[in-house]
């Protein structure tokens, strides 16, 4: 069903046609006039009429492609772009053609045209984003990483455009709908929009009506934002204040207005001072502290068709000059519909890498700057236009609007979103390598812990020495890799909000000079949940002492283990106690501490695998509760010194 009234909200980029042009007929000139006034429904009919009269020039095909692109009709846009795609040298046509192919799910077909665009415009922010994310489609479409569940909100939607839903109180919702006005816009044939309110309990809307007061006019009112105290509403409207205003081309530009709540209705409508008659200023988003307003505009200084800007809101209610958010957020495409909460800016864009139309992106405000924008992926995003995302972290739910199920131009639906994973998760890709040869080490245990050493997970490397962990963004973590015949090694990963981090952990091989069998050194064993040296273990340790006295060049590395009973964290600490007691016994017999190193491996390296844990016998559990001895070269670095403990 619904496909939003993107009409007035869409900003156009004036582009060189890059095609040989014929002398224009009266029919084509008429179509061009409609196009220039953003009357795309009429423009499409007029260009089609010109074609029916035999005026099938490349210029008309290009303009039809652009017309359907602006109406977000991927099928027809591709149809007409295809007629000129091999004749034009305009990189913007390549980009739009690729976008419309992706919108239809034709991802492989879109790639050559994206690459051609990137080659021709290497400095374009969209090209740089493409080069920086070569596997972006796989990430966006990966349903295993989906962050939200998305369902349509039938209690809010009609056969007209409905979008821009936001909570206006614990049980109140505001949204935009085109369901009432009889006057239709020439952009896409949709009626003009108004701001509505509804009771909203149990995720069901009721008592839907226009918000009371002076906000809604006979023209268009669009996306809005409420002040933190709920007493001021900032909203988008056509250039209308008692009379209809337009720019030099006859287009009524978008402006931001505000109104105040008098306890019963919205009154005292005022235009904000940073609007302009010759550019759009729209879609306000006030921060939760009420000190800043983000908005979308194509004012001078904008990179592309529309960018995200902001103003500071002073204590006296005045505003600073507008500031541009820069390349961390904005591209040569369209960035609009901002929403800010929990130090996160959500916005829609067709300039960052997405699925074809406008996708929803998020960027975290950290240390005075925004992190790299990331795509929220499916199912929030589709191949169509996905806009007006609003999210409430304390409730783990929100709204998005999309024309993915549109039945007519300008038709958008409101969808509920429910969070199932953190928005800013980080995929850590770790590879464990032999420090000497550089070759991957398979079957290495990699333990993920927080900064305090609390275990967060353990995985085993694959044949390529690789392992990955998905963690919440912004958290410092530590990766420790362990493998037989190698020293342990750690890598610290600083908190980030990037989508992925690559980590390399190199392990130094332990070079043996003589085998434990040759020296008659055998493992020692421990009682359940104990780390004291038993009588039988003391006998074996005396053999170790004698061997070390006989071979003064020897260094021994002690590795202690537990059975699988008990928690991972507890068993790790227990194994370390066993390793320490083993080493301390040897030292007590006159062996210098510098010749001994130790480590505890918890339950990660059993002699007998018990799966499940209760499947092992008492004897098998006993075999796992042990200290092993590895003989190393005298100059081998130690992983833990006994005299430091």
Sorting pLDDT into bands at 50, 70 and 90, what band is 338? very high
Evaluated on CA atoms 173, 174, 178, 179, the torsion sign reads: positive
Residues 137 and 23: their CA atoms lie apart, in Å, by 42
Give me the pLDDT at residue 187, please. 55
Residues 510 and 477: their CA atoms lie apart, in Å, by 26
Share of the chain above pLDDT 70, in %: 89
Share of the chain above pLDDT 90, in %: 57
Sorting pLDDT into bands at 50, 70 and 90, what band is 506? very high
Q: How far is CA 557 from the centre of its chain?
A: 45
Q: Span 287-298, mean pLDDT?
A: 97
pLDDT over 90 at 467, yes or no = yes
Q: Span 205-229, mean pLDDT?
A: 94
Sorting pLDDT into bands at 50, 70 and 90, what band is 446? very high
pLDDT over 80 at 580, yes or no = yes
pLDDT over 70 at 1, yes or no = no
Give me the pLDDT at residue 18, please. 40
Give me the pLDDT at residue 269, please. 95
Q: What would the CATH number be for the domain defined by 26-144?
A: 1.25.40.10
Question: Do 26-144 and 426-507 fold alike per CATH?
Answer: no
**What are the residues whose beta carbons fall under 8 Å from the beta carbon of 465, sequence distance 6 or more?**
431, 432, 433, 439, 440, 441, 442, 444
**What are the residues whose beta carbons fall under 8 Å from the beta carbon of 92, sequence distance 6 or more?**
13, 15, 117
603 compared with 105, residue with greater pLDDT: 603
The pLDDT mean for the chain works out to 87
Q: Which CATH number fits domain 426-507: 3.10.290.10, 3.30.70.640, 2.60.40.1120, 1.10.10.10?
A: 2.60.40.1120
Q: What are phi and psi of 357, to 5 degrees?
A: -95, -150
Residues 544 and 595: their CA atoms lie apart, in Å, by 12
Residues 48 and 464: their CA atoms lie apart, in Å, by 57
Contact between 373 and 361 (Cβ < 8 Å):
yes
| Torsion angle of the four alpha carbons 39, 41, 42, 48, in this order, in degrees rounded to the nearest 10 | 130
Q: What would the CATH number be for the domain defined by 524-644?
A: 3.30.1330.60
Q: Tell me whether strands 172-177 and 455-460 are parallel, antiparallel or unpaired.
A: unpaired
pLDDT over 70 at 559, yes or no = yes
| pLDDT tens profile 43-75 | 888 999 888 887 768 899 999 999 988 888 889
Highest mean pLDDT among 38-47, 265-274, 607-616, 627-636: 265-274
Residues 33 and 38: their CA atoms lie apart, in Å, by 9
Q: Retrieve residue 570's tokens.
A: 């507890």
Specify the range with the lowest mean pLDDT, choosing from 424-428, 511-515, 601-605.
511-515
Confirm or reject CATH 3.30.10.20 for domain 145-419, answering yes or no.
no
Residue matched to tokens 């921060």: 287
pLDDT over 50 at 20, yes or no = no
Highest mean pLDDT among 131-135, 239-243, 537-541: 537-541
Specify the range with the lowest mean pLDDT, choosing from 11-25, 199-213, 417-431, 470-484.
11-25
pLDDT over 50 at 8, yes or no = no
Highest mean pLDDT among 145-154, 401-410, 432-441, 447-456: 432-441
Q: Indicate the domain borders of the chain.
A: 26-144, 145-419, 426-507, 524-644
């Amino acid at each position: 069903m619904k496909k939003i009234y993107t009409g007035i909200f869409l900003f156009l980029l004036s582009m060189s046609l890059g095609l040989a042009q014929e002398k224009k007929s009266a029919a084509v000139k008429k179509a061009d006039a409609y196009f220039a006034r953003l009357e795309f429904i009429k423009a499409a009919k007029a260009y089609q009429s010109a074609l029916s009269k035999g005026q099938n020039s490349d210029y008309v095909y290009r303009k039809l492609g652009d017309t359907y692109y602006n109406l977000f009709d991927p099928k027809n846009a591709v149809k007409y772009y295809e007629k000129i795609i091999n004749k034009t040298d305009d990189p913007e046509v390549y980009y739009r053609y690729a976008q419309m192919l992706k919108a239809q799910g034709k991802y492989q077909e879109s790639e050559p045209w994206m690459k051609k665009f990137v080659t021709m415009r290497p400095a374009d922010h969209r090209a740089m984003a493409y080069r920086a994310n070569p596997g972006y489609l796989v990430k966006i479409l990966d349903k295993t990483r989906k962050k939200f569940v998305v369902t349509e909100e039938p209690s809010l939607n009609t056969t007209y455009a409905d979008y821009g839903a936001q909570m206006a109180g614990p049980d109140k919702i505001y949204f935009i709908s085109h369901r009432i006005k009889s006057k239709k816009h020439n952009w896409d044939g949709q009626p003009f929009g108004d701001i509505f309110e509804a009771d909203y309990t149990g995720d069901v809307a009721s008592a839907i009506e226009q918000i009371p007061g002076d906000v809604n006019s006979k023209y268009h009112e669009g996306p809005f934002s409420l002040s933190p105290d709920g007493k001021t509403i900032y909203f988008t409207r056509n250039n209308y204040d008692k009379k209809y205003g337009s720019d030099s081309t006859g287009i009524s530009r978008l402006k931001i207005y505000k109104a105040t709540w008098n306890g019963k209705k919205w009154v005292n409508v005022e235009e904000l001072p940073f609007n302009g008659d010759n550019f759009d200023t729209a879609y306000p988003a006030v921060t939760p502290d009420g000190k800043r307003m983000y908005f979308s505009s194509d004012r001078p200084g904008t990179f592309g068709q529309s960018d995200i800007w902001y103003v500071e809101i002073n204590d006296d209610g005045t505003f600073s000059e507008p500031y541009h958010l820069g390349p961390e957020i904005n591209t040569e495409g369209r960035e609009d519909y901002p929403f800010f909460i929990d130090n996160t800016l959500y916005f829609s864009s067709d300039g960052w890498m997405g699925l074809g139309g406008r996708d929803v992106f998020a960027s975290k405000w950290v240390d005075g700057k925004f992190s790299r924008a990331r795509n929220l992926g499916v199912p929030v995003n589709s191949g169509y236009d996905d806009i007006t995302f609003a999210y409430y972290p304390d409730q783990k739910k929100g709204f998005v609007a999309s024309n993915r199920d549109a039945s007519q131009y300008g038709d958008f639906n409101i969808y509920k979103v429910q969070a199932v994973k953190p928005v800013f998760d980080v995929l850590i890709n770790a590879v464990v390598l032999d420090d000497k040869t550089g070759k991957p080490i398979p079957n290495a245990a990699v333990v993920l812990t927080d900064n305090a050493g609390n275990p967060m997970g353990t995985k085993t490397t694959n044949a390529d020495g690789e392992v990955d962990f998905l963690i919440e963004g912004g958290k410092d973590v530590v990766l420790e890799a362990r493998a037989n015949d190698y020293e342990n090694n750690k890598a610290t990963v600083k908190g980030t909000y990037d989508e992925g981090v690559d980590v390399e952990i190199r392990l130094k091989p332990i070079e043996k000079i003589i085998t434990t069998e040759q020296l008659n050194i055998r493992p020692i064993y421990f009682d359940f949940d104990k780390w004291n040296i038993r009588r039988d273990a003391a006998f074996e340790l005396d053999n170790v002492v004698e061997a070390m006295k006989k071979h003064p060049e020897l260094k021994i590395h002690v590795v202690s283990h537990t059975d699988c009973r008990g928690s991972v964290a507890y068993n790790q600490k227990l194994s370390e106690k066993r390793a320490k007691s083993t080493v301390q016994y040897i030292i007590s017999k006159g062996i210098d501490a510098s010749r001994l190193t130790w480590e505890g491996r918890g339950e990660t390296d059993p002699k007998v695998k018990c799966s499940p844990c209760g499947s092992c016998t008492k004897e098998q559990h006993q075999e796992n509760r042990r200290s092993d001895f590895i003989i190393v070269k005298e100059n081998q670095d130690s992983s833990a010194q006994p005299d430091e403990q």
